[in-house]
């Protein structure tokens, strides 16, 4: 079965500290993976996708097929990074980004 | 419009009441998705439209849930005979076409009492 697991409900770090939000997936094929972010009182928005291999707001994520992981990392957390982060898997190979399976989310809190 | 618009933002329904939730996608977006997000959970896929065609409704939890997009633009999610377990935030998303970024609306928070 296709599944996305985010083991941490809450992650609290101090400003300037490194942060890693964990995501593991289960998928019987070649996955397309994404990270979405939801800031307080804002809508869910795409942060980055694995196929783009890009860095957005200092965040990066590398797909590790051997460990079936797609952890989100940032070397120096900022207070404005505080938000809810969701890892998501595209339901069908080559499918639209909208047709997604989401994890339960991790709330990141960056303290001053 | 500036983005995906959903209405109402909040809805309180008595158990057994029918409700209709509206989604206005970004103009020109072909693909439209509905998700249900229960408290403390991630969004769960309900259904997908490409233009007016409903291509996937595998996530609809029961036959009380019905979605339509008759002209390939605005979509309505209808829930008949609401039950307490239907309480959730209902999210709509649209994308220009397949394989492009999906943009989410603010959601409708439905509370069934």
| Structural fold of domain B5-112 | Immunoglobulin-like (2.60.40)
Q: What is the pLDDT of residue A97?
A: 60
Is A91 in Cβ contact with B31 (below 8 Å)? no
Chain A positions touching B48 (Cβ under 8 A) are 96, 98-99
Mean of the per-residue pLDDT values for chain B? 94
pLDDT, greater one: A62 or A80: A80
Between A and B, how many residue pairs show a Cβ–Cβ distance under 8 A?
63
With a cut of 70, say whether residue A87 has pLDDT above it.
yes
Residue A85: how many other CB atoms lie within 10 Å: 23
Q: What is the pLDDT of residue A31?
A: 79
Q: How far is B15 from chain A (nearest CA, A)?
A: 27
Question: How far, in Å, CA of B10 to CA of B66, rounded?
Answer: 19
Is A99 in Cβ contact with B93 (below 8 Å)? no
Copy the structure tokens of residue B73: 């633009």
Q: What is the pLDDT of residue B96?
A: 87
Q: How far is B69 from chain A (nearest CA, A)?
A: 16
Q: Where are the domains of chain A?
A: 3-111
Q: What is the pLDDT of residue A56?
A: 86
With a cut of 70, say whether residue A83 has pLDDT above it.
yes
CATH number of this structure's domain A3-111: 2.60.40.10
For B25-87, strand residue ranges (E) read 31-37, 44-50, 53-56, 65-68, 75-79
Chain A positions touching B3 (Cβ under 8 A) are 43
Q: Residue A34: which pLDDT band, with cuts at 50, 70 and 90?
A: very high
Mean pLDDT of B29-46: 94
Is A45 in Cβ contact with B45 (below 8 Å)? no
Considering only the beta carbons, identify the residue of B3, B33, B107 that sits closest to A98: B33
How does pLDDT run across B61-88, given as a tens digit for each residue? 999 999 999 999 999 999 999 999 999 9
Question: How far, in Å, CA of B85 to CA of B77, rounded?
Answer: 16
Evaluate whether B3 touches B107 at the Cβ level (below 8 Å): no
HEC string for chain A: CCEEECCCCEEEEECCCCEEECCEEECCCCCCEEEEEECCCCCCEEEEEHHHCCCECCEEECCECCCCECCEEECCCCHHHCEEEEEEEECCCCCCCCCEEECCCEEEEEEC
Q: Is B105 on the interface with A (CB under 8 A)?
A: yes
Q: What is the pLDDT of residue B47?
A: 94
Q: What is the pLDDT of residue A8?
A: 96
For residue A108, the cross-strand partners are A11, A83
Is A96 in Cβ contact with B102 (below 8 Å)? yes
Q: Where are the domains of chain B?
A: 5-112
């Amino acid at each position: 079965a296709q599944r996305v697991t985010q083991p941490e409900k809450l992650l609290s770090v101090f400003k300037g500290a490194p942060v890693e939000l964990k995501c593991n997936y289960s998928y019987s094929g070649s996955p397309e993976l994404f990270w979405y972010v939801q800031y307080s009182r804002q809508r869910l928005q795409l942060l980055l996708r694995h196929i783009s291999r890009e860095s957005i707001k200092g965040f990066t994520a590398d797909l590790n097929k051997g460990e079936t992981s797609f952890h989100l990392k940032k070397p120096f957390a900022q207070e404005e990074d505080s938000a809810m982060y969701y890892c998501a898997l595209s339901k069908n190979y080559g499918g639209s980004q909208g047709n997604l399976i989401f994890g339960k989310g991790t709330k990141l809190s960056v303290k001053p | 419009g500036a983005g995906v618009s959903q209405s109402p933002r909040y809805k309180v329904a008595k158990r057994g009441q029918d409700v209709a939730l509206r989604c206005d996608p970004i103009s020109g977006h072909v693909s439209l998705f509905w998700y249900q997000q229960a408290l403390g959970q991630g969004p769960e896929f309900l259904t997908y439209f490409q233009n007016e065609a409903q291509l996937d409704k595998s996530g609809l939890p029961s036959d009380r849930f019905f979605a339509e997009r008759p002209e390939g633009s605005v979509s309505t999610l209808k829930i008949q005979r609401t039950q307490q377990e239907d309480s959730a935030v209902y999210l709509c998303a649209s994308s220009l076409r397949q394989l492009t970024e999906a943009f989410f609306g603010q959601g409708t928070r439905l509370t069934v009492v």
